[in-house]
Amino acid sequence: MKVAHVRGGRFQRLAIGVTVVALIIGAAPVAAAPLSADGHHGGGCGLPVTAGLHTVDVVQQGVHRPLQLWVPSGYRDREVPLMLWLHGSGTTGAQAMATVDSAGQPLFPADADEHGYAIATPTGAIPFNPAPGISGFAWNIPGVPLVGSTIYPPPGTLDDIAYIGLAIDAIASAMCIDQRRVYAAGASGGGRMASQLACDLADRITAIAPVMGVRFPHATDTPGRTVECAPSRRVPVLAIHGRLDPVNVFADDDPRIVPGSSWTYGVPEALRRWALANGCKLDTTRRETVADHVQLVTYQGCHSGADVSLYDVADGGHTVPGSAVVPSLVPIIGPTNQELNTPDAIWDFVSHFRLPNS
């Protein structure tokens, strides 16, 4: 079992200011040193890159779309895995990087240092300000409307699937990453985006871990809009989802599921679809209690070792388990489970997988 714990050390120098934006709990962004992809301050496995927080500029169709990159402590120009942690709707990559635990310490940079992987937090293409005090971006996910609406991105919106491919290239030019071990995780809208990357970028994304956002789109979900998920290989999937989520609800038969919206079926159906795609036995799952309120559900017999699993969080809302709690928001977004450390749980799953040799 992976449990939350207080982390200190050099993270205590980060200026943490807790804020809540678009139902995701995070922290104020911190300053980052620029890395270029041209070898001036970095350069793949050639020139040295210091550990810590950096920015990497990604240019797409002439538009500069920088991302934040955490280089783990102990990095010495050797190949390290890369984790993409994708923000929720109405937030930014900087806020995703600064997600904190109940002690105010960054969740993902601490885990990256512990396990020796790099973490990148890009930002979606669509400006999204759904309510007063909520200002950020959303992901341009093919066939998916903006959360809470039936409004689709306008024509000409930058392609976020292509952007992620460019981002991986830019990071690989700035530091030394193992391109057979590139993983995508995300919260809420970022979870939907991570799911879509497994559909459309399976040749580059090794495994995914959507938090409160697992999807496997069929063309019939939103007829005329939704694209069919057709991965080029079987992709391992770990979902993390709370049963008390009032936004992306858990159950397939929950009346809050709205046809034609960004959430047209529940978590069991999404996992069933991934299990079917990965050749798992649909009628055989293993359910293991890992904490008082958390069970790990795993499909059996998946082909090519492409596991499909779920952390079923009985007391979790529309929140990242192990992240900070704001009591005044509990009536709106539900509770935050403190038994599961999300980055540890994700890493424990994805780290077993590598892309096959080409």
> Tokens at residue 89, please?
């709707």
Closest CA to 184 of 284, 117, 248, 125: 117
pLDDT of amino acid 36: 54
Residue 292 and residue 201: Cα distance in Å, rounded?
36
* Element (DSSP H or E) covering residue 212: none
> Tokens at residue 35, please?
């890395």
| Regions of the chain with pLDDT less than 70 | 1-31, 36-43, 47, 358
Partners of 312 in the β-ladder: 241, 295
Residue 170 and residue 66: Cα distance in Å, rounded?
10
> Tokens at residue 235, please?
């992709």
Question: Considering the entire predicted model, what is its pTM?
Answer: 0.90
Q: Where are the beta strands (DSSP E) in the chain?
A: 18-21, 24-27, 33-35, 52-56, 59-60, 63-64, 67-71, 80-86, 118-121, 126-131, 134-138, 177-187, 207-211, 237-242, 281-291, 294-300, 308-313
- Model confidence pLDDT, tens digit, residues 245-279: 999 999 999 999 988 889 999 999 999 999 999 99
* DSSP states along 242-289: ETT-SSS-SSTT-TT--TTSS--S-HHHHHHHHHHHTT-EEEEEEEEE
How many helices (H) and strands (E) in the chain? 7, 17
The residues, any chain, with a CB within 8 Å of residue 5's CB and separated by 6 or more, are 341
Q: Give 9-350's CATH code, choosing from 1.10.10.10, 3.40.50.1820, 3.30.470.10, 3.90.550.10.
A: 3.40.50.1820
The residues, any chain, with a CB within 8 Å of residue 203's CB and separated by 6 or more, are 232, 233, 355
Q: How far from the centroid of its chain's Cα atoms is residue 12's Cα? A: 24
pLDDT of amino acid 43: 56
pLDDT of amino acid 7: 32
Q: Where are the beta strands (DSSP E) in 44-153?
A: 52-56, 59-60, 63-64, 67-71, 80-86, 118-121, 126-131, 134-138
The residues, any chain, with a CB within 8 Å of residue 343's CB and separated by 6 or more, are 107, 108, 110, 111, 112, 322
* Element (DSSP H or E) covering residue 344: helix 342-350
Neighbours of 36 (CB within 10 A): 16
Going from N- to C-terminal start, the domains of the chain cover: 9-350
Closest CA to 308 of 339, 276, 266: 276
Please provide residue 25's backbone torsions phi and psi, each rounded to the nearest 5 degrees. -90, 130
DSSP 303: G
The CA angle 53-203-303, to the nearest 5 degrees, is 115
Closest CA to 67 of 169, 195, 185, 171: 171
pLDDT of amino acid 40: 38
> Tokens at residue 197, please?
């990357």
DSSP 220: T
Closest CA to 350 of 211, 213, 196: 211
- Model confidence pLDDT, tens digit, residues 284-326: 999 999 999 999 999 999 999 999 999 999 999 999 999 999 8
